[in-house]
Structure 1
Amino acid sequence: MPELSFTRAGNGPPLVLVHGYLGGSAMWDAQLAHFSPFRDVICPDLAGFGASAALEAPESIEGHARMVLGLLDRLEVERFDLLGHSMGGMVVQEMIRLAPTRIRKLILYGTGPRGVMPGRFETIAQSRERLLRDGVPATARRIAATWFRQGEAAEGFPLCLSLGQKARQQAALASLTAWEAWDGTPALGAIASPTLVLWGSRDRSYDWTQPEALWRGIPGADLAVMPGCAHNVHMEKPDRFNRLVGDFLDAADF
């Protein structure tokens, strides 16, 4: 199996952060700096994205999940806390389905249990059509702007744009195919790890029905809604995001 690139720093209990569509491990720079003094933070680059852009991306969410689990096997990381954002949230739902005993705590951030997202700023078919017509660089600019309340004026936009423009077109298209075929709803009731669902109230990618389905479907799940934030809460309000995540991870197991 091809080996994913990754960023890693720190010591302590492992914390794995999985990025979303047109992203990369560099999206977690603020979290790496915050958590690495007391956590072993591991940030994979999914196949076809970021530093793994040379790899061919699978056309299934399960395929991405198996690649991340394979990376953790190679790093000899057996048990870990796990956070997934956007498409990465789909990937981590598959990871816990495939390896439920390995995940201590789970954070599902800006994501949902269905690949076909109701209320998204455009349909998957429209994204595919525009990607084929406009190419990756223009698509990355257009989509990254929707992740922030301030659009292209947001402080985090240039980093997201640069990462998105590194993505392979094959990976961008394969991801859309993977979304269409994926539905994690039937597996929600089997998630036994303590889980936090985290969502920005102005998210244009995932409307409220998606995080609500996670919160109601996962036994005992906690919910945190960040007011005034769009899709990339961790960049718009990093201090509050880090505090929320840290408090959840440090709380006694329940």
Structure 2
Amino acid sequence: MTPLVFVHGFMGGSKQWKLQAPLAGDRKLIAIDLPGFGKNAHKDALRSIPEFAEWVLAEVDAEQFDLLGHSMGGMIAQEMIQLAPDRVRKLVQYATGAEGIIPERFEPIETSIQRAHADGAKSTARRISATWFLDIETAQEFPACARIAEACSLQAIIAGLEAMQNWSGLTHLAKIALPTLVLWGDRDRTYSWSQTETLWHNIPDCRLAVLPACAHAVHLENPILFNQLVSDFLETNL
């Protein structure tokens, strides 16, 4: 069975996919830690979405794989398709968009950059990671996510924010020539419906799943439904 590669989002890491273990079955799960984040938090973060995409392609040794990108990881996944379209069989775009400028984000990226400089890395990590959950700091999985985010340096936080801010994939959406699933939580504070709708309407072979009463971390807030939707998509002959 085709391996599934997970590309986490901003201030994320491979440990955030622990509840997706049921997706393994007969398939290999490959969870990436981007430079500057997760288990690679000791490394300097890269400064552009294309650089991250090139790094992931070099890191994954599978000749062909399915690809799931979350948030900033979804942007990276779109770039990976442009660089190596033949290596990806199916694509999952999860809680992400095609534009780095996100007008309806809980705060403008420029504000996040300014506050990160003022408040420091650890405070910024906890504050932003709380927005990923519908129940904010009281969410069951918030402490684990906050610990992963807190490992990030200020350099990685600023680099990640600037990489997103300076990126757009709008002109490439129509060129994504493979089956795609767009997943979105209807209470997402980071990516609005307009971003999700843009993906859905512009990727040619695209299907949409909207999960109710979830924010930006659907895979942790409703893992059973999330896993079922991803599994059905990957295993269906389209």
Q: Look up the match of 1:65.
A: 53
Contact 1:65 1:92 in 2 (8 A): yes
**Residue 208 of structure 1 corresponds to which residue in structure 2?**
193
Report % sequence identity: 51
RMSD: 0.8
Whether 1:39 aligns to 2:24 is no
Match 2:92 to one of 107, 111, 116: 107
Q: Which amino acid aligns with 1:115?
A: G
Q: Which amino acid aligns with 2:203?
A: I
Q: Partner of 1:186 in structure 2? A: 171
Alignment deviations for residues 54-97 of structure 1 (CA, whole Å, 9 cap, x no partner): 2111110000001000001xx3x110000000000000000011
CA distance in 2, matches of 1:223, 1:142: 30
Cα distance in 2 between the residues matched to 1:41 and 1:168: 27
The 5-angstrom pairing of residues 1-254 of structure 1 reads 12-31=1-20, 33-72=21-60, 75=61, 77-253=62-238
Report the residue type matching 1:56 in the other structure: D
Distance 1:233 1:223 in 2: 14
Could you tell me how far apart the structure 2 residues matched to 1:139 and 1:172 are? 9
AA paired with 2:131? T
Residues 178 and 205 of structure 2 are in contact (CA less than 8 Å); yes or no, is this contact kept in structure 1? no
Q: Distance in 1 between matches of 2:137 and 2:97?
A: 25
Q: 1:4 maps to what in 2? A: none
Could you say what secondary structure the match of 1:197 adopts? strand
Gapped runs of 5+ residues in structure 2? none
> How far off is 1:45 after superposition?
0.3
Deviations 1:144-180 (A, max 9, x none): 1111111100011011100000012111101111112
Whole-Å Cα distance in 1 between the matches of residues 116 and 200 of structure 2? 32
Aligned-residue offset at 1:36: 2.0
Aligned residue type for 2:7 = V
Report if the CA contact (8 A) 2:32-2:56 is conserved.
Answer: yes
d(CA) in 1 for partners of 2:152 and 2:181? Answer: 29
Judge conservation of contact 1:118–1:206 (CA < 8 Å) in 2: no
In the comparison of the two structures, how many residue pairs are matched? 238
TM-score for the superposition, normalised by structure 1: 0.92
